Amino acid sequence: MKGTHLPIATLAIFAFATFFVSASDPSPLQDFCVAINSGLPGVFVNGKFCRDPKLVTAKDFFFSGLQIPRPTANPVGSTVTPANVEQIPGLNTLGISLARIDYAPNGGLNPPHTHPRASEVLVVLEGTLYVGFVTSNPDNKLISKVLNQGDVFVFPVGLIHFQFNIGPVNAVALAALSSQNPGVITIANAVFGANPPINPDVLRKAFQVDEKLVQYLQKQFWYNNS
Ligand code: MN
């Protein structure tokens, strides 16, 4: 009996492993592919053109200023400073990037959002953050924790997650992401701030609230913190 189950288990493990390999960005096909915004002279790879390797310099792999605190006086009380392929063209095709996140004292929030193309590892550099993510349907289990300086937390690819400064001082975190272009979908902005707006009947039924509340939410200014 055991023997008949083994090949199925092996297949399942293989399928599982293959899924996770293909869920991240494809491996680079060359040492690097420094992004340029025009196809001349270059080769189109992975959404960007590649600069002629002979013309590449250290500047293409460099970014500075991530030590600088950014203002957080905005409706959500947080500011994301990305360092991805848009800021560092040498990250193109390498499947990694960074972001600094500043949080205002007493309630600075990086609101619920997802990264369609990346998992995230967050390290708290200063302050105290309540962080969490929610698993997919049907469980929608909240996995959350309070983090202090030096603590690290993982947000798996695609899952809705947030960070909330519950301390009385500024908080700062550094996030590492498993894509050069992780993408961000801020849930409230995408749902209530879509342009053009989603038909209110859709949102009324989806959120099980009356039309006035939907209209109220759709009239809000949905701030983008990155
Ligand atoms: Mn994130």
In single-letter form, the type of residue at position 9 comes to A
pLDDT for the residue numbered 184: 95
Q: Cβ neighbours of residue 175 under 8 Å, at least 6 residues apart? A: 98, 99, 100, 101, 120, 121, 122, 123
How many angstroms does the Cα of residue 108 sit away from the middle of ligand 1? 15
List CB-based neighbours of ion ligand 1 within 5 Å: 120
pLDDT at 19: 45
Q: Which two tokens stand for residue 8?
A: 């199925």
pLDDT for res 78: 98
* 65 Cβ contact partners less than 8 Å away, ≥ 6 residues apart: 81
Distance 50 CA to ligand 1 centre (A): 27
Question: In angstroms, what is the span from residue 43 Cα to ligand 1's centroid?
Answer: 31
- Report CA-CA distances (Å) from 136 to 25, 126, 143, 184: 21, 30, 11, 17
pLDDT at 30: 67
pLDDT of residue 170: 98
Q: How far is the CA of 196 from the centre of ligand 1 (A)?
A: 25
Instruction: Report how far ligand 1's centroid is from the alpha carbon of 148 (Å).
Output: 18
Other C-beta atoms closer than 10 Å to the C-beta of 28 total 15
Cα 162 to ligand 1 centroid, rounded to whole Å = 7
The pLDDT, as a whole number, for residue 32 is 80
| pLDDT tens digits for range 99-136 | 999 999 999 999 999 999 999 999 999 999 999 999 99
The domain limits of the chain are 59-183, 186-226
Find the 53 Cα to ligand 1 centroid distance in Å: 32
pLDDT recorded at residue 7: 55
Q: How many angstroms separate the alpha carbon of residue 115 from the centre of ligand 1?
A: 6
CA-to-CA distance for 172 and 165, rounded, in angstroms? 9
The CATH architecture to which 59-183 belongs is: Sandwich (2.60)
Instruction: Report how far ligand 1's centroid is from the alpha carbon of 101 (Å).
Output: 9
CA of 111 to the centre of ligand 1 (A): 9
pLDDT by residue for the chain (226 residues), tens digit each? 344 454 555 545 445 444 444 556 666 656 788 888 776 766 676 778 888 899 999 999 999 999 999 999 999 999 999 999 999 999 998 999 999 999 999 999 999 999 999 999 999 999 999 999 999 999 999 999 999 999 999 999 999 999 999 999 999 999 999 999 999 999 999 999 999 999 999 999 999 999 999 999 999 999 999 8
Give distance in angstroms: CA of 14 to centre of ligand 1: 29
What integer pLDDT is reported at residue 22 of this predicted model? 52
Give, as one character, the DSSP assignment of residue 126.
Answer: E
How far apart are the CA of 114 and the centre of ligand 1, in A? 6
CA 172 to centroid of ligand 1, rounded, Å: 14
Gap from CA of 122 to ligand 1 centroid (Å): 8
Query: How many whole angstroms separate alpha carbon 187 and alpha carbon 190?
Result: 5
pLDDT digit string (tens) for 83-99? 999 999 999 989 999 99
For residue 26, the model assigns a pLDDT of: 65
Alpha helix positions (H), 104-210: 187-192, 200-207
